[in-house]
Amino acid sequence: MAKLLEKLELKDIRLAQDMPFEGKAYLGRIITFDGLVLNTRAIKDGKKYWINLRAEAFPGSDKKVETRAKDISDALSKYAFEVDEKPGKKLTCEHINLLEGAGINACA
**What would the pLDDT profile of 40-55 be if each residue is shown by its tens digit?**
999 999 999 999 999 9
Q: Which residues contact 17 (CB under 8 A, 6 or more apart)?
A: 78
At 103 the pLDDT is 56
Cα of 5 vs its chain's centroid, Å: 8
How many CB atoms are closer than 10 A to CB 53?
23
- Which residues, at least 6 apart from 12, have a Cβ–Cβ distance to it below 8 Å? 48, 81, 82
Domain boundaries, the chain: 2-105
Q: How far is CA 62 from CA 57, 73, 77, 79, 98, in A?
A: 8, 17, 22, 27, 34
Counting as low any pLDDT under 50, the low residues of the chain are: none
pTM, to two decimals: 0.85
